[in-house]
Structure 1
């Protein structure tokens, strides 16, 4: 069995398409098909079955995929460990985070880290709450920022690194737009612009409204803070966003009003796979982050 066969197999399994996998690998489709066929012959099983123009893993193919991914992951770690042994300041960190952190927090902390460690490379992956946890568990990323910290999941571990307040955002022509503070209950008759299902900010806003004595009337849904902010600025409703998502200013901004009651906050955690010793460069970045948020981070 060859390493190339495992690599081709994993690419085809992930993309469910031989031609697309070949294009991503920059090899001929026939080469991919030939190596998959040889792998199946050696194992004595069928790993894929045809589904129209796509392919789908057989049950034994799904079992083999998990092991193949582990083998390739361990090989990547071994190569990285050798490079980091030769030079701990050279390596790659795979970092996951939700969209709401991508406009301000992540660029700020990465820029700070790279001023001290300019040769470290990063590979980023954005996603929703469930997909970020899955990416950590399946070793697609080394570390992930997530909100909130997962409960009762023994496959990830981590710590809360930041707690931030959420603010109400209103169209500038809204009657309460000029206030410094409001009670959330004052918005009970307004239409809300909320994050779509699956985004961690949605249940936070929903629970805050419930605590204030009402359930929000949803007019529009979006998947990024920029979208939510833009809809509100356009007069399509009101919403609640984290302070850091409101730090960037433009000519097309909603009014930002602090919430007096109830106190609406979110926690941000940094998670990793449980029980796994991180590579040198990942540990370097992890320890840097803990120190950064304890001693250096300023919200604005």
Structure 2
């Protein structure tokens, strides 16, 4: 079995078309067909079925595709590790994060790191809590900022890098907008603007309201901190947002008020795959992040 046979097989499986796969691979269609045929002969099975002008994986082909993709991915990682061992300054880091960190933290950290290591490349992926965990476990990304930090998870490991307060945000004309601090139950009769289901800040706000003795009345939902902040500023309700999501300034801004009781916080963690040694450049960046948070954030 040859490496190019696996490469041709995976490309045909992804595109479901021999001619298109050949074009992507920059080889003749006959070469692709020939290598697929030899692979099937060696395995003693049919990997594809003809479906009009397209091809479709057989059940055993679907099984083989998963293994073939893993083999090719491991090979790609091995080549990358060798290159990064020779020169970690030219490696690539794949990092995931929730939207609320993309407004201020991620650009700030990356810009700071690239002043020292200008040739390191980054590939970014935003996502919600479950998708970030999955992407780390499935090796789609190397590191992920995540909130809340998963205290127990067999397949990921990491550390809390920051704990930050949540603040109440209110319409500018709200009766409590001028207060220095409030008890959360003072908002029990207000309509809340919350994140949609699946976002980690939603249960955090919900639990805080329950701890204050009431169930929040949900009037509007959103999927980004900008949306939540804008709806509140426009008078659609009240909400809670972490400090990091409130750095933005604009012509229409909500009032920001500290919550005296209960004290509402969120943890931000940095996670990676458990039981696996990261590449040299990822280790370099990880060490930089740990030092960065120790020196720049009092909430360490």
Shared fold, TM over 0.5: yes
Q: CA deviation at 1:23?
A: 9.4
- Partner Cα separation in structure 2 for residue 56 and residue 179 of structure 1: 65
Q: Comparing 219-228 with 72-81, which one deviates more in the overlay?
A: 72-81
Over 3 Å counting, the alpha-carbon distance change for 1:95 and 1:9 in structure 2 is: farther
Q: Who is 1:97 aligned against? A: 97
- Partner Cα separation in structure 1 for residue 133 and residue 89 of structure 2: 27
Contact 2:92-2:281 within 8 A present in 1 as well: yes
Q: Who is 2:206 aligned against? A: 206
Over 3 Å counting, the alpha-carbon distance change for 1:278 and 1:230 in structure 2 is: same
Contact 1:169-1:229 within 8 A present in 2 as well: yes
- Partner Cα separation in structure 1 for residue 261 and residue 199 of structure 2: 23
TM-score, structure 1 length as denominator?
0.86
Contact 2:95-2:123 within 8 A present in 1 as well: yes
Query: Deviations along 1:189-239, whole A, 9 cap, x unmatched?
Result: 111111111111111011001001111111111111111111111111111
Q: How does 1:21-60 map to 2 (within 5 A)?
A: 43-45=43-45, 60=60
Q: Comparing 185-194 with 65-74, which one deviates more in the overlay?
A: 65-74
Residue 235 of structure 2 aligns to a residue whose secondary structure is coil
Q: Comparing 167-176 with 52-61, which one deviates more in the overlay?
A: 52-61
Over 3 Å counting, the alpha-carbon distance change for 1:67 and 1:231 in structure 2 is: same
Over 3 Å counting, the alpha-carbon distance change for 1:19 and 1:82 in structure 2 is: same
Q: Who is 2:159 aligned against? A: 159
- Partner Cα separation in structure 1 for residue 99 and residue 20 of structure 2: 27
Q: Comparing 23-32 with 229-238, which one deviates more in the overlay?
A: 23-32
Q: Who is 1:126 aligned against? A: 126
Over 3 Å counting, the alpha-carbon distance change for 1:143 and 1:208 in structure 2 is: same
Q: CA deviation at 1:65?
A: 3.8
- Partner Cα separation in structure 2 for residue 143 and residue 77 of structure 1: 15
Over 3 Å counting, the alpha-carbon distance change for 1:273 and 1:23 in structure 2 is: farther
- Partner Cα separation in structure 1 for residue 224 and residue 25 of structure 2: 31
Q: CA deviation at 1:108?
A: 0.6
Query: Deviations along 1:93-129, whole A, 9 cap, x unmatched?
Result: 0001111111111001111111111110000011110
Over 3 Å counting, the alpha-carbon distance change for 1:210 and 1:275 in structure 2 is: same
- Partner Cα separation in structure 1 for residue 44 and residue 70 of structure 2: 21
Q: CA deviation at 1:75?
A: 1.6
Q: CA deviation at 1:44?
A: 4.5
- Partner Cα separation in structure 1 for residue 174 and residue 53 of structure 2: 53
Q: What RMSD in Å do the two structures reach over aligned CA positions?
A: 3.3
Residue 89 of structure 1 aligns to a residue whose secondary structure is helix
- The number of equivalent residue pairs is 299
Q: Who is 2:275 aligned against? A: 275
Q: Who is 1:259 aligned against? A: 259
- Partner Cα separation in structure 1 for residue 246 and residue 279 of structure 2: 35
Contact 1:48-1:56 within 8 A present in 2 as well: yes
Contact 1:73-1:139 within 8 A present in 2 as well: no
Q: CA deviation at 1:245?
A: 0.4
Q: Who is 2:284 aligned against? A: 284
Q: Who is 1:218 aligned against? A: 218
For structure 2, list consecutive stretches of 5 or more residues without a partner in the other structure.
none
Q: Who is 1:80 aligned against? A: 80
Q: CA deviation at 1:54?
A: 10
Contact 2:162-2:297 within 8 A present in 1 as well: no
Over 3 Å counting, the alpha-carbon distance change for 1:265 and 1:85 in structure 2 is: same
Q: Comparing 208-217 with 16-25, which one deviates more in the overlay?
A: 16-25
Q: Who is 2:144 aligned against? A: 144
Q: Comparing 266-275 with 2-11, which one deviates more in the overlay?
A: 2-11
